[in-house]
Amino acid sequence: MEGDRLIDDDFRSLHPTKEHQKPTPLPWLQISILVLIQVCEPMTAESIYPYINQLVSELDITGGDKRKVGYYAGLLFSLFFVTEAMTVLYWNRISDRVGRKPILIFGLFGTALSMLCFGLSRTFWALVFSRCLCGLLNGNIGVMKSALGDLTDHTNRAQGYAFIPVAWSVGASIGPWIGGSLSKPHDNFPSTFQGAFWQEYPYFLPCLITSGFVLLVAIIFLKLFKETAPKLWTNPYHLLGDLTQTGNTVPLNSLLTRPVIISISNCMVHACIAMVHASILPLFFSMPIELGGLGFSPRIIGFIMGIYGLCSGLFQVLFVARIVQHLGERSVFLIGLLCYIPAFISLPIMNAYARQFRVTPVIWVLVTVTFILLTIADMAYAAIYMFITASAPNRSLLGTTNGLAQTAVSVVNAVSPVLSTSALSFSVEKNILGGYGAYILFLLLVCSAMLLALKLPYKMWEEHDDDILQY
């Protein structure tokens, strides 16, 4: 088929065969700005983690039953991804037509606005609205990966994509610290925040700080970032018309090649596991010991999660590119998945110990070991994103490919938090296997993911022959 042959030729031009070549220098200014954009999402999302359970318990939505907090907290986590799944493919397809820059700036302003709304919410449905608003207006996570793919090639992609988990870790360290330290400022800083406003809106300050950071990044982005997409929008008056069109005339079924399907499937399952652990971890830390957690305060949760994010970020930037180059993307991805098995097992072990001896230094050692495992597991992010980028049929479809992947991930992320936190709450409420029954399900999920990961090739997609390109 002529069309298929053209796609294959374009694929090879985008992904030439790997040889012993000197890595292409990375455009550090452009990469740094993309890293700042990537920092915004985990910082804003995870800034609510330290206090979200306490906030929900204060809204009377649970009827005073703390065992039900997990249901509603998980729903709030999921809503962002539900609405993101509805629009993220659209934003990414449009970025192939009008460029990455206008979509990214739109997403930054949408994130800032939604965080301000979240801080001013005093009802559960207001919180629902703010989370939905953020998801609808934000296609940045997929478009940012497309821009990074535009800026890298097969010689420097491992180094470039190593910054994705770094950026996430930085945001994940700053966000919980902001949320845990600055929530309820009228209690923690009474001499500075004395007005009735801070008592009425005790969680507005961390939302204001994170929103301000996002707006600062938006200004830097507007001033310094240069468009990376191969198709540029040159007339701003045509942008509105482009946004109302499909964004790309190529049918989506042209993307359903074997590399794309396998890469996105693994990305989905990995995202599910990562989101499950990320959702239950703050709930586990905050739940009373007798209900299956450790009973930590929001301040402690914010501090320890911030330390983890910082250490993980340093590890990614210093070692991930070297590890990927030495072991290969497939092995790194498998190792990352494998680390989730002991990371899940450590949680019921910590609670069982705390029930017997309360929180002692042994608990802190186990918390440290868990975070070390999660740091190693974070390497899987860079590995699977490299597979997805390499699977794109051609450069003009890179944004659409990432958009399709992000849509799939958003659907998984929409379901994972509410199901995982609900499963944990249900397991505790019904005392299934002593309250630890949910962890069996989580371990089975990881084992299933390991089997799927074996479908990934030992070498990157572009190193294979023609017959692997078509499904």
Q: What is the pTM of this model?
A: 0.70
Q: Is 219 helix (H, G, I), strand (E, B) or coil?
A: helix
Structure tokens at 253: 């079924």
23 phi-psi bin (left φ>0, alpha ψ -120 to 50, beta other): beta
- Cβ–Cβ under 8 Å, residues 250 and 404: no
All domains in the chain, ordered by first residue: 24-468 (1.20.1250.20)
pLDDT digits 0-9 by tens, 301-328: 878 877 887 788 788 878 887 888 888 8
pLDDT digits 0-9 by tens, 127-183: 888 888 888 877 677 788 888 888 887 777 777 777 777 787 778 778 888 888 888
Q: Grade residue 67 by pLDDT with cuts at 50, 70 and 90.
A: low
What letters, b where the CB count within 10 A reaches 16 and e where it falls short, cover 296-335?
bebbbbbbbbbbbbbbbbebbbeebbebbeeebbbebbbb
Burial of 266 (0-12, 13-18, 19+ CB in 10 A): buried
- Cβ–Cβ under 8 Å, residues 178 and 209: yes
What letters, b where the CB count within 10 A reaches 16 and e where it falls short, cover 191-216?
eebeeeebeebbbbbbbbbbbebbbe
Quote the mean pLDDT of the chain: 81
Residues 6+ apart with CB under 8 A from 463: 17, 18, 457
Q: Grade residue 292 by pLDDT with cuts at 50, 70 and 90.
A: confident
Return phi, psi of residue 19, to 5°.
-135, 180
Count of CB atoms within 10 A of residue 16's CB?
A: 13
Count of CB atoms within 10 A of residue 454's CB?
A: 9
pLDDT at 231: 55
Structure tokens at 407: 């849509």
Lowest mean pLDDT among 10-14, 23-27, 115-119, 203-207: 10-14
pLDDT at 251: 62
pLDDT at 219: 94
Using the predicted structure, report yes or no on whether residue 363 has a pLDDT greater than 90. Answer: yes
How many residues are present in the chain?
Answer: 471
